[in-house]
């Protein structure tokens, strides 16, 4: 039987070999670390984005483009390579497919099921499964028997379990109010958690604060990653400049360590003549001026970004100590939780005394299930 090309091992093997060949070609022919990373990242992105592409014509075009990219890199035609990588044009075949999809009229959606009926159906299925496992129900049950006999019994069984859970909760007393936190990058956001402000009842202001802080901190962390990439490129340029100007061939492998040393040197502001090392002026740590001038702006930017993150983290710590713990937040939620508990207990007692004794299993408007809904349990 014929197979789709994406299921063939030869296709997978060819794509993998071509990808590895591209990485090697880029590594041996492109001297700029930054440009090398840009090429490999874009190639990896295109391959990942088309991993599930089932169009043979489209995949063939992409593989031909990857082969052309290798030729351009080997021959030093970097403008052509850049043009090929930046092309976002889609193939005619994909355009035709998209146009055909747009023309397809969507089918009418089936009517949505009533959520209450769906819940009751799930309760019935669970009840039947349990009773069958106990040997109390046969495997073949008619729809009429399910609807008329078993559904009322299942709803009554489910309601009794729910009442038992509510009684157990009320016997425990007033629910706990406690201090909770969530992480937003390097920041820790503290807040009071209680039954009156959890899940859907959580403050929209708090939800927006958590979401905004996470996004802002993530943007800063992404910016720091970009700075680290730029630092590698800047260090390469600085070392090349030092070689051209002074004939010194230097090598620094650990960019992060060099950034720390540059930051320390810039802060100390101490210049010494290091004629014993090179003829050029150097800082006391033995790093050329060219490296300092290239890396110090990046180091300064990274310091500012880190200071912003640390300042925000300190703000939330102070807010916990000075506002949440001292400004009566916990006492306020304790009072609200106690009031809620008393109201719930009174509502439950009223239900048990007035409605539950008069229930009827087969009356869908006066069974335990409907009574619990009436009292919002």
Q: What is the tens place of the pLDDT at every residue in 297-314? A: 888 899 999 999 999 999
For residues 353 and 300, state if they share a domain.
no
Q: Could you give the count of Cα atoms lying within 13 Å of 73 in the half-sphere of its Cβ?
A: 25
Q: What is the pLDDT of residue 156?
A: 92
101 assigned to some structural domain: no
Quick one: what percent of the chain has pLDDT higher than 70? 87
Q: Which residue has the higher pLDDT, 250 or 97?
A: 250
Q: What is the pLDDT of residue 107?
A: 61
For residues 183 and 308, state if they share a domain.
yes
- Beta bridge mates, 187: 184
For residues 182 and 323, state if they share a domain.
yes
Q: What is the pLDDT of residue 274?
A: 39
Q: What is the pLDDT of residue 209?
A: 87
Give the model's confidence band at 106: pLDDT under 50 very low, under 70 low, under 90 confident, else very high. low
222 assigned to some structural domain: yes
Instruction: Return the number of other C-beta atoms located less than 10 Å from residue 61's C-beta.
Output: 16
Give the model's confidence band at 94: pLDDT under 50 very low, under 70 low, under 90 confident, else very high. low
CB 220 within 8 A of CB 21: no
Burial class (CB in 10 A: 0-12, 13-18, 19+), 367: middle
- The C-alpha atoms of residue 256 and residue 305 are separated, in whole angstroms, by 16
| Average pLDDT estimate for 13-24 | 86
125 assigned to some structural domain: yes
- The C-alpha atoms of residue 153 and residue 156 are separated, in whole angstroms, by 5
Residue-number span of the structural domain to which 154 is assigned = 116-172+341-374
For residues 303 and 204, state if they share a domain.
yes
234-238, 274-278, 348-352 — most confident range: 348-352
- The C-alpha atoms of residue 154 and residue 119 are separated, in whole angstroms, by 11
Give the model's confidence band at 264: pLDDT under 50 very low, under 70 low, under 90 confident, else very high. confident
Give the model's confidence band at 93: pLDDT under 50 very low, under 70 low, under 90 confident, else very high. low
Dihedral angle of Cα 46, 50, 56, 62, to the nearest 10 degrees: 0
77-86, 105-114, 179-188 — most confident range: 179-188
Closest CA to 375 of 361, 175, 363, 359: 359
- The C-alpha atoms of residue 319 and residue 360 are separated, in whole angstroms, by 55
For residues 289 and 223, state if they share a domain.
yes
- The C-alpha atoms of residue 80 and residue 135 are separated, in whole angstroms, by 75
18 assigned to some structural domain: yes
100 assigned to some structural domain: no
357 assigned to some structural domain: yes
Domain boundary among 89, 108, 138: 89
Residues 6+ apart with CB under 8 A from 186: 217, 309, 310, 312, 313
Q: Decide: pTM greater than 0.75.
A: no
Q: What is the pLDDT of residue 87?
A: 67
For residues 130 and 60, state if they share a domain.
no
Instruction: Return the number of other C-beta atoms located less than 10 Å from residue 262's C-beta.
Output: 24
For residues 68 and 139, state if they share a domain.
no
Which 3-state string (H, E, C) describes the chain?
Answer: CCCCHHHCHHHHHHHHHHHHHHHHHHHHHCCCHHHHHHHHHHHHHHHHHCCCCCCHHHHHHHHHHHHHHHHHHHHCCHHHHHHHHHCCCCCHHHHHHHHHHHHCCCCCCCCCCCHHHHHHHHHHHHHHHHHHHCCCCCCCCCHHHHHHHHHHHHHHHHHHHHHHHHHHHHHCCCCCCEEEEEEECCEEEEEEECHHHCHHHCCHHHHHHHHHHHHHHHHHHHHHHHHHHHHHHHHHHHHHHHHHHHCCCCCCCCHHHHHHHHHHHHHHCCEECCCCCCCCCEECCCCEHHHHHHHHHHHHHHHHHHHHHHHHHHHHHHHHHHHHCCCCHHHHHHHHHHHHHHHHHHHHHHHHHHCHHHCCCCCCCCCHHHHHHHCCC
For residues 322 and 230, state if they share a domain.
yes
Q: What is the pLDDT of residue 126?
A: 92
pLDDT of 162 higher than 90 = yes
Range in 26-35, 242-251, 312-321, 325-334 with the lowest mean pLDDT: 242-251
CB 74 within 8 A of CB 29: yes
For residues 319 and 189, state if they share a domain.
yes
Q: Which residue has the higher pLDDT, 151 or 31?
A: 151
66 assigned to some structural domain: yes
For residues 185 and 319, state if they share a domain.
yes
- The C-alpha atoms of residue 24 and residue 17 are separated, in whole angstroms, by 11
- The C-alpha atoms of residue 188 and residue 210 are separated, in whole angstroms, by 10
pLDDT of 270 higher than 70 = no
Give the model's confidence band at 105: pLDDT under 50 very low, under 70 low, under 90 confident, else very high. low
Q: What is the pLDDT of residue 157?
A: 94
As for how many domains the chain has, the answer is 3
Range in 76-85, 291-300, 313-322 with the lowest mean pLDDT: 76-85
Whose tokens are 């995949």? That residue is 59
69 assigned to some structural domain: yes
For residues 185 and 71, state if they share a domain.
no
- The C-alpha atoms of residue 303 and residue 223 are separated, in whole angstroms, by 12
| Average pLDDT estimate for 138-164 | 90
Range in 71-75, 116-120, 148-152, 260-264 with the lowest mean pLDDT: 260-264
- The C-alpha atoms of residue 1 and residue 371 are separated, in whole angstroms, by 61
pLDDT of 102 higher than 70 = no
Residue 190 phi, psi dihedral angles, 5° rounding:
-100, 145
For residues 266 and 369, state if they share a domain.
no
pLDDT of 113 higher than 80 = no
CB 38 within 8 A of CB 87: no
């Amino acid at each position: 039987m014929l197979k789709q090309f994406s299921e063939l091992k030869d296709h997978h093997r060819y794509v993998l070999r071509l990808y590895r060949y591209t990485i090697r070609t880029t590594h041996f022919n492109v001297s700029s670390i930054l440009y090398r990373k840009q090429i490999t990242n874009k190639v990896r992105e295109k391959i990942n984005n088309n991993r599930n592409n089932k169009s043979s014509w489209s995949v063939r075009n992409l593989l031909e483009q990857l082969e052309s990219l290798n030729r351009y890199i080997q021959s030093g035609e970097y403008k052509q390579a850049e043009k090929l990588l930046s092309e976002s044009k889609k193939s005619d075949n994909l355009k035709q497919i998209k146009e055909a999809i747009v023309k397809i009229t969507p089918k009418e959606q089936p009517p949505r099921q009533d959520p209450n009926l769906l819940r009751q159906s799930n309760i019935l299925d669970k009840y039947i499964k349990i009773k069958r496992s106990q040997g109390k129900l046969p495997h073949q049950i008619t729809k009429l028997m399910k609807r008329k006999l078993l559904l009322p019994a299942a709803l009554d069984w489910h309601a009794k379990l729910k009442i038992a859970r509510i009684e157990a909760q009320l016997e425990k007393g007033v629910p706990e109010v406690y201090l909770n936190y969530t992480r937003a990058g390097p920041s820790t956001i503290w807040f009071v958690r209680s039954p009156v402000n959890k899940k859907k009842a959580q403050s929209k202001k708090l939800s927006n604060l958590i979401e905004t802080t996470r996004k802002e901190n993530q943007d800063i962390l992404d910016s720091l990653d970009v700075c680290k990439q730029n630092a590698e490129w800047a260090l390469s340029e600085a070392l090349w400049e030092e070689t051209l100007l002074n004939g010194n061939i230097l090598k620094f492998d650990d960019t992060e360590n060099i950034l720390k040393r540059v930051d320390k040197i810039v802060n100390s502001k101490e210049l010494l003549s290091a004629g014993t090392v090179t003829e050029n002026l150097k800082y006391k740590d033995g790093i050329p001026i060219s490296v300092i001038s290239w890396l110090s702006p990046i180091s300064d930017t990274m310091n500012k970004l880190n200071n912003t993150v640390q300042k925000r983290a300190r703000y939330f710590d102070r807010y916990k100590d000075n506002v949440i713990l001292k400004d009566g937040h916990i006492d306020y939620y304790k009072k609200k939780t106690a009031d809620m508990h008393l109201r719930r207990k009174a509502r439950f007692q009223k239900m048990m005394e007035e409605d539950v004794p008069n229930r009827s299993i087969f009356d869908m408007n006066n069974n335990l299930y409907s009574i619990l809904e009436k009292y919002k349990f």
